[in-house]
Chains A and B, each alone.
Chain A
Amino acid sequence: MTGELGQLALTLSMALALVQSISGLVGARPNAVRARAMASGAALGFFVFIALAFGCLTYAAVTNDFSLLNIAQNSAVNKPLLYKITGVWGDHEGSMLLWLLVLGIFTAAMTVLQRGGERLTSAALGVQGLLALAFAVFTLFTSNPFLRLDPPPFQGNGLNPLLQDPGLALHPPMLYIGYVGLSATFSYAAAALITKLADAAWARAARPFMLAAWIALTLGITLGSWWAYYELGWGGFWFWDPVENAALMPWLLATALLHSALATERTGAFKTWTLLLAIGGFSLSLIGTFLVRSGILSSVHSFATDPERGSYILMMLVLAIGGALALFAWRAPQMEGGAEFEAASRDTTLLINNVFLVAATATVFIGTLYPLALQAYNGAKISVGPPYYAITFAPIFVAMMALLPFGPRLGWRRGNLREAVRTLLPAMAMAGVAFVVVLVMVAPRSVAAAGAFALAVWVMCSSVLDLVKARPIRALPLARWASVLAHFGLGVTLIGITGTTVWRVSALEVLGPGQSMKVGGYTLTLKRVERVRGDNFVAERAIVDVSRGGSHIATMGPEQRNFPLQRVATSDTAIRTTGLSDLYLALGDPRSGGRWTLRAYENPLAPWIWFGGGFMALGGLASLATRLRRRATVAMTEAQGVPAE
């Protein structure tokens, strides 16, 4: 029954998306009041029915309804309840339904908030409706999660054990909120072009969605990286895997967009550029989805591949990107030029920020797509690895971070560079101290690491200066907190990446019970290996005594888990963190005579990588909070035709 109800709800939401797209676009005309009301109603209806469909699939997953093909292939009776729920989006069909649900939530928020005026909202709802329609058709006809299986099996195939993890349960929803949030920004940009209301209003209206998308992408990428670190058992945190890049590219462009839209809102600069970034951000989300879903790339993320799906997404991609760019090419030249600003101004620094971020995006884009292009061209199978990114992506980020502290210190349109340099002197001094201290005190000696530390301290100190200067701290406006926290987080992440990459110590040995090995300053003694049982796996757990300087400090238990249903083995690492350094153990394969291979890493500063991501997301939240609080004031200043300060 739930299957049929879900199918019906999904079909109805598809119909409502069609209504929403037509009435929304008609409502963009000045006097089409009734069409606008219809678009709003359809948007809310879409949300209600897609939520119902999602609820049906979740219910079927929780109650083990294996008569649904999707549940039979991805769930099992003895799977823990949490993973029955998160397993709903653990496969392609269910994740498309989640995508539609997030789209519905954002569309409903656009309807309820009605920002940027009725006409703009209506046109944005129309564009959003077209996207919803395309995805609903895709889900219903190529990836229907409500397909029946006859006869139903007694037990399902279970979820990929790698995905049975709390960190990863939240990772897909976060990325989807990011991708779909960028679709709302995209819709507002298209609406601005359609209605020719391409002043600052659309950027202001789209800002909360942009911010929500950016926060979610930041958290999604952070979670994904953290998961790869503790689950894959190699101690790495980022592999420049094409699938990781597919999430990183929209994040980079969304970061550029947040900064450029700020200038558009405040001074009217970069109007057309901001529109283009809004289109580009969502386009990269679509390209990412295409790469991951079409089966062109293989990874944990590729679900059962199907050429039909790939060609459908490719078609959608061409229509959405091509349509938006055509609209841009047609309407953008009619727009007024941007406002003027001097060389030493915040506008200039935002421009530089954008040039760097777009260049960084381009290097990742080329690194990701070049192998595909070459294979299509002459059949050569190549891969582009970390060394490529170390010499392209890294220098761009270094240059950007070196210039970053000047931005917030220069005024809009016209700034005082000398004054900015003067206020930054303490941060420069601290950076110099950091360089010398790291170079002299830390072994092994590394000039690159010292430079990276100096850069990170430079960015972090310049952020902290704001807090120290503000007396009392409460007087600091929330908007400044946003930039302080986000930029501080970037520095923290850089320190984490540097520490882990340069000073990591690793050891790999085959140990029998009672034997010891050393890693960093630690001595690890294998006590025994015992068998433990989980809900749906059997594990070998090594009991390892950790001591430092002769005194026992901890007992750790890395596991090797076997999931009999899926015939899959995973390693469950044991990590002991002090906040400054991780001791990381992974149990390898058994050898003769009851001996086991044990891998150990000491990863200095590793947790900082993800702390930094947390700070950045907090900064985004602070900015979002100012937006929601300032709604009333903005509405007032808008009515008076004054840009909000």
Chain B
Amino acid sequence: MNVKKRRRLAFAVALLVAASGGTWLVLNALGPNVLYFYSPSEIQKEHVRPGVDFRIGGLVARGSVIHGKGAAVTFKVTDGKATVPVNFDGVLPDLFRQGQGIVAIGKLNDSGTFIASQVLAKHDARYMPPEVEAALKKTGRWRAYADPNGMIKAKAGL
């Protein structure tokens, strides 16, 4: 075997090792580290089990926000058809308001309350997370309107 062939072979082996190692890492990592998204009505429909991490999205139901001790807070997330209670002890985003679209990451406990580890809301009052928008469209609670400047704005009909 001359130098050139040996080099080619070494290169091919290195590439194969790297590619299979990479694939192994990726497949291992993707399985347990993927978060699914469910709207409140999908949670009931899909029978999401307690203890599994996922993302929930919807609007913060009016009159449902109750501040507890310290930073603890409870509120309800709704998509117009179903409502899920959420417990959270941590940093609420700047624009966390009643009626605002939010996405939270966490899991259900045995009594069906969502224990959030993170609550996300975007900083723009006009902004709606796309998953929440889709969920609201599904339940027929979404309508868009145009404001005088000709810009299309969206508003949830809740």
Taking beta carbons and an 8 Å cutoff, which residues of A are in contact with B? 72-73, 149, 153, 157, 160-162, 233-234, 298, 337, 340-341, 343, 351-352, 355-356, 359, 362-363, 366-367, 370-371, 380-385, 387-388, 391-392, 395-396, 508-510, 560, 566-571, 588-589, 591-592, 597, 599
Cβ-defined contact, A162 with B14, below 8 A: no
- Total interface residues on B, using CB and 8 Å? 43
Which residue of B35, B96, B126 is within 8 Å of A567 (Cβ)? Answer: B126
Residue of A nearest to B67 (CB): A591
Which residue of B4, B28, B123 is within 8 Å of A337 (Cβ)? Answer: B4
With a CB–CB cut-off of 8 A, which chain A residues contact B49?
Answer: none
Complex: how many Å from CA A371 to CA B30? 10
Which residues, 1 to 43 on B, are CB-close (under 8 Å) to A? 3-4, 7, 10-11, 14-15, 18-19, 21-22, 25-26, 28-30, 32-37
With a CB–CB cut-off of 8 A, which chain A residues contact B28?
Answer: 391
Q: What total of A-B pairs shows CB separation below 8 Å?
A: 117
Cβ-defined contact, B34 with A157, below 8 A: no
With a CB–CB cut-off of 8 A, which chain B residues contact A367?
Answer: 30
Cβ-defined contact, A162 with B71, below 8 A: no
Given the interface pairs A381-B37, A392-B26, the reply to whether A298 lies near B124 with Cβ below 8 Å is no
The 25 listed contacts between A and B (C-beta, < 8 Å) are A234-B91, A343-B10, A355-B15, A359-B18, A359-B22, A363-B26, A363-B29, A366-B30, A370-B30, A382-B37, A383-B34, A383-B35, A384-B30, A387-B29, A388-B30, A388-B34, A391-B28, A391-B29, A508-B71, A510-B70, A568-B123, A568-B125, A569-B94, A591-B67, A592-B67
With a CB–CB cut-off of 8 A, which chain A residues contact B126?
Answer: 566-567
Cβ-defined contact, B123 with A508, below 8 A: no
Cβ-defined contact, A569 with B70, below 8 A: no
The smallest C-beta distance from B125 to any residue of chain A, in angstroms, reads 4
Given A388-B30, A560-B94, A568-B95, 10 other A-B contacts at CB below 8 A? Answer: A153-B149, A157-B149, A298-B129, A383-B34, A383-B35, A388-B33, A388-B34, A567-B126, A569-B95, A597-B92
With a CB–CB cut-off of 8 A, which chain B residues contact A233?
Answer: 94
Complex: how many Å from CA A73 to CA B152? 12
Given the interface pairs A351-B14, A560-B94, A570-B123, the reply to whether A395 lies near B25 with Cβ below 8 Å is yes
With a CB–CB cut-off of 8 A, which chain A residues contact B21?
Answer: 359
Complex: how many Å from CA A256 to CA B145? 48
Cβ-defined contact, A72 with B4, below 8 A: no
Cβ-defined contact, A355 with B14, below 8 A: yes
Task: Mark B113-137 against chain A: 1 for CB-CB distance below 8 A, else 0.
Answer: 0000000000111100111001000
Which residue of A162, A337, A366, A567 is within 8 Å of B125 (Cβ)? Answer: A567
Complex: how many Å from CA A569 to CA B129? 17
Given the interface pairs A391-B29, A567-B126, the reply to whether A341 lies near B7 with Cβ below 8 Å is yes
Q: Is B90 an interface residue (CB 8 A)?
A: yes
With a CB–CB cut-off of 8 A, which chain B residues contact A566?
Answer: 124-126
Task: Mark B94-118 against chain A: 1 for CB-CB distance below 8 A, else 0.
Answer: 1110000000000000000000000
Cβ-defined contact, B125 with A509, below 8 A: no
Q: Is B151 an interface residue (CB 8 A)?
A: yes
Cβ-defined contact, B25 with A382, below 8 A: no
Complex: how many Å from CA A356 to CA B22? 10
Residue of A nearest to B18 (CB): A355
Which residue of A340, A363, A508, A570 is within 8 Å of B91 (Cβ)? Answer: A508
With a CB–CB cut-off of 8 A, which chain A residues contact B141?
Answer: none
With a CB–CB cut-off of 8 A, which chain A residues contact B151?
Answer: 73, 157
Cβ-defined contact, A162 with B129, below 8 A: no
With a CB–CB cut-off of 8 A, which chain A residues contact B71?
Answer: 508-510, 597
With a CB–CB cut-off of 8 A, which chain A residues contact B92?
Answer: 588-589, 597
The smallest C-beta distance from A244 to any residue of chain B, in angstroms, reads 15
Cβ-defined contact, A384 with B91, below 8 A: no
Residue of B nearest to A560 (CB): B94
Complex: how many Å from CA A387 to CA B130? 23
Cβ-defined contact, A298 with B91, below 8 A: no
Complex: how many Å from CA A385 to CA B131? 17
Cβ-defined contact, B124 with A72, below 8 A: no
The smallest C-beta distance from B118 to any residue of chain A, in angstroms, reads 9
With a CB–CB cut-off of 8 A, which chain B residues contact A571?
Answer: 94
Task: Mark B61-84 against chain A: 1 for CB-CB distance below 8 A, else 0.
Answer: 000000100110000000000000
With a CB–CB cut-off of 8 A, which chain A residues contact B125?
Answer: 566-568
Cβ-defined contact, A384 with B3, below 8 A: no
The smallest C-beta distance from A383 to any residue of chain B, in angstroms, reads 5
Which residue of B55, B96, B134 is within 8 Å of A383 (Cβ)? Answer: B55
The smallest C-beta distance from B120 to any residue of chain A, in angstroms, reads 10
Residue of A nearest to B6 (CB): A343
Residue of A nearest to B135 (CB): A381
The 5 closest A-B pairs by CB, nearest first: A381-B37, A567-B125, A387-B33, A388-B33, A359-B22
With a CB–CB cut-off of 8 A, which chain A residues contact B130?
Answer: 298
Given the interface pairs A363-B25, A388-B30, A560-B94, the reply to whether A381 lies near B7 with Cβ below 8 Å is no
Given the interface pairs A337-B4, A381-B36, A589-B92, the reply to whether A351 lies near B11 with Cβ below 8 Å is yes
The smallest C-beta distance from A512 to any residue of chain B, in angstroms, reads 13
Complex: how many Å from CA A161 to CA B134? 26
